[in-house]
C-alpha cells in the first residue's frame, strides 16, 4: 500500500484498492485470469498461489484493518483456520485451545488431529492458571476465540499472549465475532488473527470466505502450506468481498449501536430471564471486554423465561429471520440447542450453561424500533397461544 490511512472508514473504503490505469474507473478492476505470463515478470501469478492482483489488493486491506504486515484470503473461514493451525503444528506437537470454540474448529481438532499425531488440550476455564496448567513442553500453539459463541464469554488476550511468550508459544485467535472494527488482537500481542470473512467482512449473507492476518514471516509460512492445500478464493468473490468491506465499518458500528440498545431493553423485560452481551454491565466479562474491545459487537444471546417456547417464539417472528450463520445486515436468530449445540445433548449443554430456551441474536442494521416491535409481537403471540392451549 503506497498510502497509509489512519481512519477506519478510509481504510475500509480505500486500502488495497487496485487502480484502473486503462480506463480510470473508480473501483478496482477484476482480473479473472488463471493463466499469467511466466517470462520477464517479477511474480509468477496463479489463483492457487494466492497472488492474483485482486487477492493481493484485498489482502492489503485486511492487513491494514488488523494492523499487521500481511494477510491472506481463503475460500472459507475453515480453510483459514485449518491452514493456519497445520502450518504451525506437526506430528508430536501439542496445542492448547479454549473449549468454547466455533463448532467447525472444534470438529477439525477432535476429528482430524489424531491422524496427524497432534495432541491437544481444551480448557473450559479461561483463567491464567487453567491455560498454564494445559501447557506441555510440546505445546506450539495456544488458540482462542473471543467473544465466544453463544454466551459471549471474553478471553483475556494480554494474559494469554504473555503466558505464551514466556514459553515461546505462538498465539492464534478467531476474531470473527468482534471483526477488525471492534477488536485488533495485534494490540494485545496475538500472533495470528483469523476471520471467517463469511460473517462481518462479507456482511450481506452472500459470500463464503476466510482471512488470516499476521507478520510477513508467519504469513510466508502459512502460504507455503496454503498453496499445497489449495483453499484459495475465486477472484470474482474476492472482488465482491472487497466491495462489501468498503461499508464494513459503517455496518458494524450501526450493529454495535443497535445491539447495545436492544440488549439493555431486553434485560428489562420479564419474558427474558437473562441477556448475554459483553457491553452490559451485568455481563461477567464486561470490564475485560471494555479493556480490549473498541465496540461490543452485534452478537448477543438471551434466555426466554421458562413459560415461553423457543420454537414458537422464533416461528412468530416476522422481521427477524430464524436462520443459521450470522453478521449480515439483516437480523437473525437461532436456537443453539436446535442447531450449533444440538449434538452436545441436553446434559452437556446444561453443563456449559446453554439453556434450552437460549436464543442467539445477530443484530442487523434495521431500525431498532422495528426489531423491538418484532420481538414484542412474537412474545405476545406465543404467550397468547400458550394460554389458549392451557385453557
Q: Point out which residues bind ligand PLP (CB under 6 A).
A: 76-78, 102, 104, 145, 174, 176-177, 196, 198-199, 208, 210
For residues 174 and 271, which CB has a smaller minimum distance to ligand PLP in the complex?
Answer: 174
- DSSP class of residue 332 equals E
CA–CA dist 134, 82 (Å, integer): 21
Q: What distances in angstroms separate CA 262 from CA 210, 222, 301, 372, one per listed residue?
A: 29, 40, 11, 7
Min dist. Cβ of residue 39 to ligand PLP (A): 37
Min dist. Cβ of residue 343 to ligand PLP (A): 17
CA–CA dist 2, 15 (Å, integer): 9
For residues 106 and 265, which CB has a smaller minimum distance to ligand PLP in the complex?
Answer: 106
Q: Yes or no: say if 371 and 319 are a contact pair by the CB < 8 Å rule.
A: yes
For residues 325 and 377, which CB has a smaller minimum distance to ligand PLP in the complex?
Answer: 325
For residues 53 and 322, which CB has a smaller minimum distance to ligand PLP in the complex?
Answer: 322
CA–CA dist 95, 88 (Å, integer): 10
Min dist. Cβ of residue 369 to ligand PLP (A): 28
Exposure class string for 45-66: b at 16+ Cβ within 10 A, else e: bbbeebbbbbbbbbbbbbbbbb
Min dist. Cβ of residue 36 to ligand PLP (A): 27
CA–CA dist 165, 383 (Å, integer): 54
For residues 135 and 326, which CB has a smaller minimum distance to ligand PLP in the complex?
Answer: 326
For residues 209 and 262, which CB has a smaller minimum distance to ligand PLP in the complex?
Answer: 209
Min dist. Cβ of residue 101 to ligand PLP (A): 8
Min dist. Cβ of residue 198 to ligand PLP (A): 4
How are beta strands 170-174 and 139-145 bridged, if at all? Answer: parallel
Amino acid at each position: 500500500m503506497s498510502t497509509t490511512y489512519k481512519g477506519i472508514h478510509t481504510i475500509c473504503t480505500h486500502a488495497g484498492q487496485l487502480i484502473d490505469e486503462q480506463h480510470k474507473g473508480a473501483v478496482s478492476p477484476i482480473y479473472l485470469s488463471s493463466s499469467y505470463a511466466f517470462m520477464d515478470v517479477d511474480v509468477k501469478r496463479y489463483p492457487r498461489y494466492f497472488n492474483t492482483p485482486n487477492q493481493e489488493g484485498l489482502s492489503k486491506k485486511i492487513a491494514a484493518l488488523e494492523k499487521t504486515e500481511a494477510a491472506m484470503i481463503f475460500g472459507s473461514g475453515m480453510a483459514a483456520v485449518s491452514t493456519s493451525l497445520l502450518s504451525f503444528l506437526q506430528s508430536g506437537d501439542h496445542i492448547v485451545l479454549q473449549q468454547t470454540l466455533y463448532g467447525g474448529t472444534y470438529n477439525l481438532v477432535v476429528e482430524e488431529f489424531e491422524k496427524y499425531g497432534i495432541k491437544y488440550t481444551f480448557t473450559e476455564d479461561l483463567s491464567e492458571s487453567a491455560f498454564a496448567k494445559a501447557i506441555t513442553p510440546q505445546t506450539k500453539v495456544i488458540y482462542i476465540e473471543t467473544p465466544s459463541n453463544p454466551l459471549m464469554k471474553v478471553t483475556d488476550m494480554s494474559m494469554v499472549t504473555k503466558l505464551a511468550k514466556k514459553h515461546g508459544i505462538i498465539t492464534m485467535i478467531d476474531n470473527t465475532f468482534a471483526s477488525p472494527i471492534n477488536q485488533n488482537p495485534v494490540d494485545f500481542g496475538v500472533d495470528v488473527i483469523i476471520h471467517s470473512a463469511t460473517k462481518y467482512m462479507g456482511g450481506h449473507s452472500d459470500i463464503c470466505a476466510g482471512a488470516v492476518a499476521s507478520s510477513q514471516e508467519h504469513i510466508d509460512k502459512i502460504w507455503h502450506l496454503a498453496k499445497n492445500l489449495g483453499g484459495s478464493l475465486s477472484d470474482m468473490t474476492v472482488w465482491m468481498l472487497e466491495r462489501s468491506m468498503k461499508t464494513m465499518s459503517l455496518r458494524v458500528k450501526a450493529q454495535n449501536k443497535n445491539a447495545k440498545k436492544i440488549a439493555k431493553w431486553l434485560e428489562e423485560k420479564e419474558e427474558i430471564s437473562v441477556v448475554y452481551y459483553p457491553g452490559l454491565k451485568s455481563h461477567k466479562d464486561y470490564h475485560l471486554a471494555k479493556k480490549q474491545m473498541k465496540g461490543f459487537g452485534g452478537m448477543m444471546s438471551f434466555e426466554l423465561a421458562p413459560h415461553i417456547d423457543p420454537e414458537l417464539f422464533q416461528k412468530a417472528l416476522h422481521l427477524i429471520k430464524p436462520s443459521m450463520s450470522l453478521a449480515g445486515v439483516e437480523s437473525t436468530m437461532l436456537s443453539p440447542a436446535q442447531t450449533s449445540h444440538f449434538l452436545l445433548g441436553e446434559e452437556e449443554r446444561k453443563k456449559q450453561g446453554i439453556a434450552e430456551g437460549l436464543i442467539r441474536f445477530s443484530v442487523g442494521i434495521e431500525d431498532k424500533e422495528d426489531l423491538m416491535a418484532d420481538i414484542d409481537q412474537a412474545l405476545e403471540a406465543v404467550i397468547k397461544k400458550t394460554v389458549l392451549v392451557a385453557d
